[in-house]
Structure 1
Amino acid sequence: MSTTPEPEPPADAPTPTASGPTLSDGLRFAFGTLTVLPVTVHRWDRAAGRVGMLCAPVAGLVVGLGAASLGGLLLLLGAGPLLAAVASVAVPAVLTRGLHLDGLADTADGLGSGKPAEDALRIMKQSDIGPFGVITLVLVLLTQVAALTEAYGESWALGALAAAVSATTARLALTLAARAGVPAARPEGLGAAVAGVVPVRGALLVAGLVGCAAAGAGALFGPYDIGRTVFAVVLTCGAAEVLLRHAVRRFGGVTGDVFGGLAETAATAALVVFALG
């Protein structure tokens, strides 16, 4: 299952300082943990993690714009909606080294095992992939490609909007999952580094900002798309929340794998909304 290990603090991670983290520290934390973009993380502590997880949708927006750009370029060069959709789905996978997809598969295997929390967490850390993980990956990727094909088939602009909104809201799901009151299932890994670091009010404020930004982007297409983009944000948050609560009940908290599963679940839910005309 876990072919890619959960992010750990680098061996030369800076020692936490008494001063509060800056916005730059938070952005570096977000891009350094959620993407493979060449960013130097200056601080790796829970204070920086708090700002970083609040900035997570910004990292998602950059990933989404990259996906939209590649899909749009292929359409411009004469490719069909299907190829553009495949390329757009591939970009987030590449920019995260497949970490979120790996987390989705691990989470599916852990939940599908039916084992107690300790055994399920051990299954999630194994290096192979189980049947639940395989089936979940196949269905999720097929759904993402099919949904984006529908969106690109309607117009390149709608496909680009879908790619950008889905990637952004996928990282919004991580902001909400890192809110206060959500425990870590293990004492190590990304889950332990960011579990419970985000104040609830801060998480809700970011969710509101993402919703407003999505509505503004949808307004460029017309009144219907304002509602569609806002509904996409709401649905992604709801779908991720259902998975989060189930994972917390089963595992006793969140892990880096659970965060990955939440991101892919949210992205898929958003793309399905854009496929419904």
Structure 2
Amino acid sequence: MKLWKPFCIAFSIYSKIPVPQFAWKEEDMRYHLCFFPWIGIVIGLLEALWFRLVEWLGVGSLCQTLVAIALPLLVTGGFHLDGFMDTMDAFHSYQEKEKKLEILKDPHIGAFSVLMLLLYELIYGAAFAEFHSIRQIWVIGVGFALSRSLSGIAVVRFPAAKKEGMLAYFADSAQKRNVFVTLVLQAVLYAGFMIWIDGKIGVITVVVAFLSFFYYYWKSKKEFGGINGDTAGYFVSLCENVMAVAVAVCGLIFM
């Protein structure tokens, strides 16, 4: 029962999946990040189910691709892409750090966020259009959990851009050591499973995911002095996109 509440909190914050509602207490927040990757598992299972349904019904390739890239949005409600868009506005403002942090907090969207979102979805859709094997689907499906494991690790280990804000609150309320160990073990498990599914595609996709993780640390530190809730969403989106591209390119080369 002690873990049931953190599980519900994770799914309530990071997804649109209905869960029981209750008053959140600080002790209930301590381990919720441990369940953050599980939302990625749900997305991965839905992607695999959709791929099988496409094969059975003979759905056209355009419909197959559009639904595939819509599934993460339907599950998360666009939670991470919202952070991606805010971060793109800040990155492309070319202002000082404090001004960029203000842009991250601004609820309005700018031209660059819209343009970069369009570019993001075009690349993402192009990658998914090249998935022709169930092994590719399973690799990217597990990748949804890997990206969230890495994002959670960043929350409890990377420096925060500011001491206040949702991400800082989540990091402060977490049992950092236990959460860190749990997320690292999950990341190793998911990475290993991706490699087990397909050696070549899995290894390259995992390497690309970790490269995006280190790039995220460097870029956030350089631009903002650390991470926040918006950059966390940016990382999940970035990591999933580059993994999808890696799976698509590897499929063209090795399959």
Which of the five TM-score ranges fits, normalised by the shorter chain?
0.7 to 0.9
TM-score (norm 2): 0.85
TM-score, structure 1 as length reference: 0.79
Structure 2: which 5+ runs fail to align? none
Alignment partners' CA distance in 2, 1:260 and 1:250? 16
Partner SS for 2:109 = coil
The residue type paired with residue 86 of structure 1 is L
Within the candidate set 114, 125, 144, 2:94 is matched to 114
Of 239, 243, 247, the residue aligned with 1:266 is: 239
Tell me how far apart the structure 1 counterparts of residues 139 and 194 of structure 2 sit (CA, whole Å): 10
Q: Is the 8 A contact 1:236 1:265 kept in 2?
A: no
How far is the alpha carbon of 1:268 from its aligned partner? 0.7
Q: For the Cα contact (< 8 Å) 1:105–1:133, is it kept in 2?
A: yes
Q: Provide closer, same or farther for how the CA distance between residues 44 and 230 of structure 1 changes in structure 2, counting only shifts above 3 A.
A: farther
Letter in 1 for 2:143: S
1:127 match: secondary structure = coil
Percent identity for Structure 1 against Structure 2: 27
Aligned match of 2:68? 88
Does the CA-based 8 Å contact 1:67-1:87 persist in structure 2? no
Task: Please tell me whether the aligned partners of residues 139 and 194 of structure 2 are also in contact (alpha carbons under 8 angstroms).
Answer: no
Shift of the alpha carbon at 1:164? 1.0
Aligned with residue 124 of structure 2, among 130, 137, 144: 144
Structure 2 match to 1:165: 142
Any idea what SS the aligned residue of 2:48 has?
helix
Is the counterpart of residue 192 in structure 1 residue 185 in structure 2?
no
**Greater per-residue helix proportion:** 2
Q: Which runs of 5+ in 1 are unaligned?
A: 1-20, 219-224
Describe the SS at the equivalent of 1:55: helix
- Pick from 227, 230, 250 the counterpart of residue 254 of structure 1: 227
Give the corresponding residue for 1:7: none
Kindly state the Cα deviation for residue 43 of structure 1 after the two structures are TM-superposed: 6.9
Is the 1:182–1:195 Cα contact (8 Å) retained in structure 2?
no
Cα distance in 2 between the residues matched to 1:254 and 1:195: 11
CA 1:41/1:211 → structure 2, altered by over 3 Å: closer, same or farther?
farther
Q: Over aligned residue pairs, what C-alpha RMSD do you find? A: 2.4
Separation in 2, partners of 1:158, 1:107: 32
- The CA distance in 1 between the partners of 2:98 and 2:152, in whole Å, is 26
Between the two proteins, the alignment pairs up a number of residues equal to 246
SS of 2:33's equivalent in the other structure is helix
